[in-house]
Amino acid sequence: MQLERVTTFILDKLRHELTASFSYHNVDHTQDVMHAVKEIGSQEHITENELQLLSTAALFHDTGFLISAKNHELHSCHMARKYLPHYSYSEQDISQISDLIRATKVPQQPKNHLEEIICDADLDYLGRTDFFEISEKLYREMLALGTVSSHQEYMQLQLEFLSNHRYFSNTAKALRNKLKEENLTKLKTNSES
């Protein structure tokens, strides 16, 4: 698996081919998820091979936005199948990476430990201090794509999403739950004022 080479290729593709309306699902988010996968994965004591698979899945998980926002996970799997054979990934590797990508679909329903890790990494920001800054990027994207029509509508969606979200891995729970609850409390206060 030539992770470094494929990472350079995909990040460059995201930088140059995604439209500006993707203010959230962009190269910054992809790099953020890759970083979170490494952080959570190392604390969850996964193998080096599992970390490579997870990192590759994190790299590809939103590449489908290059094709369409609708069913982007499916498109992301197609992108992985198209490009990964050129970077020494086996059919078995690609199949597992595709499963990891599909696991990020909301509402998340991971079936194994690696899927739990990538789900937690994808939504790592919910329990971080930069939550509101990143949330604003998501709002701008959803507004541009016509997914929401007002900030009030977006805030309601965020409240519901944060209220129903849960982390799966012990590491993410330990690292992010407390701040996620604080972010939810702030969100409730802001929406009431």
Which tens digit of pLDDT belongs to each residue from 145-164?
Answer: 999 999 999 999 999 999 99
May I ask the CATH architecture of the domain 3-192?
Orthogonal Bundle (1.10)
Q: How confident is the model at residue 192 (pLDDT cuts 50, 70, 90)?
A: confident
pLDDT at position 193: 65
CA distance 130 to 28: 13
**Burial of residue 114 (number of CB atoms within 10 Å: 0-12, 13-18, 19+):** buried
pLDDT at position 28: 97
Instruction: For residues 166-172, give the mean pLDDT.
Output: 98
Q: What is the mean pLDDT of the chain?
A: 96
End-to-end CA distance of the chain: 51
Q: Is the pTM of this model over 0.75?
A: yes
Question: Residue with structure tokens 């489908």?
Answer: 64
pLDDT at 125 over 80: yes
| For residue 85, cis peptide bond before it (omega within 30 degrees of 0) | no
The answer to whether 7 and 128 are in contact (CB under 8 A) is no
Q: Name 122's Cβ contacts closer than 8 Å, sequence gap at least 6.
A: 33, 36, 58, 61, 104, 108
